[in-house]
Amino acid sequence: MEINKSALAKAVKPAGDHNPIMVQRYGADPYAMVYKGRVYMYMTGDTPAFDESGKVKTNTYGDINTISVASSADLVNWTDHGEVLAAGVNGLATWGGNSWAPAAAWKNIDGKDKFFLYFANSGNGIAVLTADSPTGPFTDPIGGPLISRNTPNCAEVTWLFDPAVLIDDDGTGWLYVGGGIPSEDMASNPGTARVVKLGDDMISLATDPMPMGDVPYLFEDSGINKINGKYYYSYCSNFNVTKEGEEKYGFGNGEIVTLVSDKPDGPFTLSSPVLKNPEHFFGRGGNNHHCIFEFNGKYYIAYHSRILEEYMDLDGGYRSTNVDEIKFDEKGAPTHSTGTRKGIAQVGCFDPYAVSPAATFANMAGLSTAPVIKDKTGRGEMYLESGDGTGWFAVYGADFGSDGASAFTFTAKGSGKLDVFVMADDLQSEVLGSCSADLTDDLKEFKADLSSKLTGVKDFYVVISGGKAQIAEWKFVK
């Protein structure tokens, strides 16, 4: 068998670039949760909409009711866990119309790890979903909002949205919400940020939400981290920062800013701006949304940009998630970060001998992902599906060791004959192994023997052509 390389699907993300983290769909407002050696990223389900002529519509956010989930052990190769249908009449929170800006946390309760997914019902309150795993299935445990405009001290909040969650060292949960400008003359201090102590169950409030005091030029996008014993609240500044305000505070419009406190509920004082608006780095602006997280001893910032939209020749305000490193000063405070297309260095090597869900890759083209079980709860299991052409996926930084891999195996079902080719380094390299798979309605394992062993640390590419396949998992064997 030979690959028709002229028929290879073209990537929308340049080879070697790590941003955005997903190319199979959009994902905005990222929030990272670290659990058992993996980073789980929860994202607002941006989906482009088109008019009758095929022209992309401007993103109004009004139809968003899903939350995308992906995870990674190295921050370069990501496993797609699909979407949670979080809101809407057919969703989990049927009482809410939208699911914006998720935040996630886990806590051991009565000897069992429980997972909590908070999100905004547009600008009018906060919902919470729970699960026994980071990827679901999720349920709505209280059947209504955790925070609404009926909650004390919340009716006057312009935008009652954008939650951030912190579980302190003593197990206490804290939630941070709010945003918006009540009137133009309040732009320098809108007074719309709130902090509240959560109940031990993480799905109730232990106190009334309280105003957070002076949060200069607050717009939206709550963030919270405990770093070196201090609490850093972060947010996006609004677009009314005056020249005098910029000189006073050191930040401009649409930047991510940090405040610091010795206590989780403040008072907070200005610390430092840490990320300029994406327009500064990529030429396309809009709102700025982030989270800061620690993984394997280093801190990173996840944020959204519009570079995937740009690569796809669209211009409607649709956002995707990037990850870059964040720098600290000599006192241990976060100071700045730079938005890049290249992204961060891979955190450790990928294990090619472990069974990987098929929807695991750093880059891909001409393929799609689809849930194994279609329901609203999110279950985390996804198929990698072939299309009509010749698609492929890439995994970066796989450590094949000194003994090396002798074959590539995968399980798939579907119809027709599927041709699979394995290459190292890039799509122009020689084919190391291939096989033809006669697909049926049942999942079967197929094997492509390699002509020479793959050794050392390498990127690898798997090309998939023909057939209508749903691939469940893959691995290399020695």
In the numeric block, which tokens belong to residue 269?
A: 């004082």
220 carries an active-site annotation: yes
Alpha carbon distance 222, 157 (integer Å)? 14
Of 140, 220, 255, 473, the active-site residue reads 220
Q: Strand ranges (DSSP E) for 168-268?
A: 173-178, 193-197, 210-211, 218-227, 230-237, 256-261
The single-letter DSSP state of residue 364 is E
What whole-number distance in Å separates Cα of residue 281 and Cα of residue 254? 13
**Share in percent of the chain as helix, strand, coil (round to 5):** 5, 45, 50
Is 292 buried (19+), middle (13-18) or exposed (0-12) by CB count in 10 A? buried
DSSP string, 255-322: -EEEEEESSTT---EEEEEEE--HHHHHS------EEEEEETTEEEEEEEESHHHHHTT--S---EEE
Q: Which of 29, 46, 419, 459 is catalytic?
A: 29
Q: Which residues pair with 189 in a beta bridge?
A: none
Beta strand 78-85 with 360-361 is antiparallel
247 is catalytic: no
> DSSP state, 184?
G
Query: What is d(CA 226, CA 232) in angstroms, rounded to the nearest whole number?
Result: 6
Distance CA 108, CA 115 (A): 9
H or E stretch covering 247: helix 243-249
- Rg (alpha carbons) of the chain, rounded to whole number: 23
What separation in angstroms does the CA of 295 have from each of 41, 281, 334, 435? 13, 24, 15, 38
Catalytic machinery residues: 29, 220
